[in-house]
Amino acid sequence: MSSPTRLPVTFTVNGEQREAWVFPHDSLLDVLRDVLGHHEVRYGCGEGVCGTCTVLLDGEPVSACLLLAVQADGHSLLTVRGLSSGGELHPLQASFLRNGAAQCGFCTPGMLLTAWALLQRDPRPSRERIRRELVGNLCRCTGYTKILDAVQEHAAEGIGGHD
C-alpha cells in the first residue's frame, strides 16, 4: 500500500498569499498551526463543537478542525491575528478588553471572529442576535455576559465590523 501523496494548496491568510504541501487528510487547523505558524488558531475539542479553532473562510466562520486544508485551496482565510493592524488592536478587540470579555483567552479568538463576521452582515445586531450567532463558541470563564456587552458596545460605537 502506498502512502498518500502531498498536494499543493494556496490560500490567502490575513491578506498574505500562502502555499503549503499537504496530505489529503490534513485539517486546516493542523496546516495553519504546524505548517504556517498561526498558533493563534487553537485546538479545542477536535469535533467542531467548541468554536475554539474558528477562522473565517471567505468571511464566514468555520471550524478549522473539521475542514480539510485542501478544501480551503484558493480561498481567503482570516485568523484573529488578521483583525489587528500595525500592532494596534482592532476596536472590537479593544472592546473585549474594556469589558473583561477576554479572561483565560482560550475562546477569545473564535468569539472575536464570529462576532466580527456578524458585524459585517449586521452592524447593529440585537443582544439576542449576538447571543444566537455566538452559540457555537463555548466559554467557561465569562458566563457570556461580558462577551455580549463587548460586542454590543462595539456595535453601539457605530464601527460595525470595519476598521
Q: List the chain domain ranges.
A: 7-82, 91-156
pLDDT at 105: 86
pLDDT at 136: 92
Which single residue is written with the C-alpha cell 466562520?
Answer: 61
Q: For residue range 46-84, what is the model confidence (pLDDT) as tens digits?
A: 999 999 999 999 999 999 999 999 999 999 999 999 999
pTM (two decimals): 0.92
Q: How far is 38 from 24, CA to CA, in rounded Å?
A: 20
Question: Which sign, positive or negative, has the C-alpha torsion 8, 9, 14, 16?
Answer: positive
Q: For residue range 78-104, what is the model confidence (pLDDT) as tens digits?
A: 999 999 998 899 999 999 999 999 888
Single out the residue of 78, 75, 110 nearest to residue 96, CA to CA.
110
- The SS3 assignment for 6 reads coil
**Domain spanning 91-156, CATH class:** mainly alpha
73: Cβ contacts below 8 Å, ≥ 6 apart: 9, 10, 11
pLDDT at 4: 78
Mean pLDDT within 108-114: 97
Angle at 88 between CA 161 and CA 109, to 5 degrees: 55
CATH node for 7-82: 3.10.20.30
pLDDT at 16 over 90: yes
